[in-house]
Amino acid sequence: MEPSDPPRASRRSLLGGGAGLLAASGAAARAPAVTVGSAADAQAILERYHGLGLKASGSPGDIATGAWIEAELTAAGYGCVRQPFETPAYEGEPPTLTAGTARAELIPQAIVQTTGQDGVTGPLYLAGQGSAAPGGIALIVLPHARWSTAKGEVERRVQAAIGAGAAGVVLVTTGPTGEALALNAPVDRPLFDRPVAVLAPRQAEPFLQAASQGETATLRIPGRSFRRPAFNVTATLKRGGGRTLVLSTPRSGWFTCAGERGTGLAVWLLLARWAAKAKLAADVALVCTSGHEYEYAGGEAYIRARAPPNDTALWVHLGANVAARDWHERGPLLSPLPSADPQRFLLASPPLVPAAQAAFAGLPGLEQVYAADPKQAAGELSSILAGGYGPVIGVFGSHRFHHARNDDLRCVEPTLVPPVAAAFAKVISQALQKVA
């Protein structure tokens, strides 16, 4: 999928929702249908979110998105309060790798270690094959995966190269699209004390050839690494019920994030509008977090300082790849499909599992419901579970263009959003009836 003119998501007829929750399957099947927004509503949200530009934490696009969300929630009757914090950032000239006549733009690895204008120059070599070249630039080709974080396996490989004397490291994020994939990092400390950046697999071949010959290369990351303010949008609607329904989703990400973040935000906003009008037996607390790329800094800040007590009536979390589209794959050619990417995972507290299976039946990936476990979750959902909150139900995943620059409107299909919102609404309605 190559960049082109600004894309628009397609308009199709709305697909149906799932069944009920927290009841025997027969009762769930007899539950009245729940409608939570339309495909046109989802279309408008996705286009507005995408149109606000890059979503890196604290960036103009992220700040504008937060302000838009505040306006939407205020119009729906919620009281909004910002929760401020800081995140790292990089600005300036894009990083580059050059070797002979080959040149490619890179993604800088956060927290960014800059090189100055002259960059780091030395022999380019393939890490893990033969002897290292102290003072050189290590090229690390990662195995095929939908990469999303520098912690863990990536960190281990980079630290090994640095320990062997590399003056800089370039990662090749081998994955399903051939694109460079930005990698999440801690908010409070650099993972690496040398400059590290990411190269797209589709641009890697000339550098692999150069590395095989030990040619001289230059890694430049000439911009500025600094910290800047960001904020969570929090909102409440008091009904005097004494217990609280929490709806959470991240809004920030490395690029425009239409599939990764936009679909979850669309489901979240449709549910927020619905919850404001529905007769639910609970107060409603909403949070739309920034800081996601920095190991969920905004979500962690909310749990520490703003989240309701952990005897919540229900916490619903909409993470990554809630309703991004799938693609046919024919070698390097990807063709968009109208169906959802099934690499999305639905976790629920054990009492919710049977009814969630009924509610999400027929929705690819979500039809398999897993018992909630912080060791099996990812993203903010793992933090919520580790915090002892329950009952909890949430989604996380990674679609094909997860963390890629071109995660744009071609990665979404608006008709995929309302069925997911409707299934969650059924979960919420029946769960709150159960505890009322």
Kindly tell me the burial class for residue 304, based on how many C-beta atoms sit within 10 Å of its own C-beta (0-12, 13-18, 19 or more): exposed
The angle at the Cα of 125, spanning 218 to 293, to the nearest 5 degrees, equals: 70
| Residue 8: per-residue pLDDT | 40
What residue has token string 């838009």?
A: 68
Band the pLDDT of 240: cuts 50, 70, 90: confident
User: Which of 50-54, 153-157, 206-210, 374-378 has the weakest average pLDDT?
Assistant: 374-378
Distance CA(391)–CA(313), nearest Å, equals 7
* 331, two tokens: 């070698």
Band the pLDDT of 242: cuts 50, 70, 90: confident
Query: Tell me, what amino acid is at 118?
Result: D
Residues 294-303 pLDDT 10s: 999 999 999 9
Residue 199 pLDDT more than 90?
yes
219: left (phi over 0), alpha (psi -120 to 50) or beta: beta
Band the pLDDT of 5: cuts 50, 70, 90: very low
CATH code given to domain 93-222: 3.50.30.30
- Please report, for the chain, the start and end positions of each structural domain, with discontinuous segments joined by +: 25-86+228-435, 93-222
Q: How many CB atoms lie within 10 A of CB 205?
A: 10
User: For the whole model, what pTM was predicted?
Assistant: 0.91
Residues 356-382 pLDDT 10s: 999 999 999 999 999 998 888 888 999
CATH 3.40.190.10 fits 25-86+228-435, yes or no: no
Do the Cβ atoms of 21 and 427 come closer than 8 Å?
yes
pLDDT average, residue stretch 138-145: 97
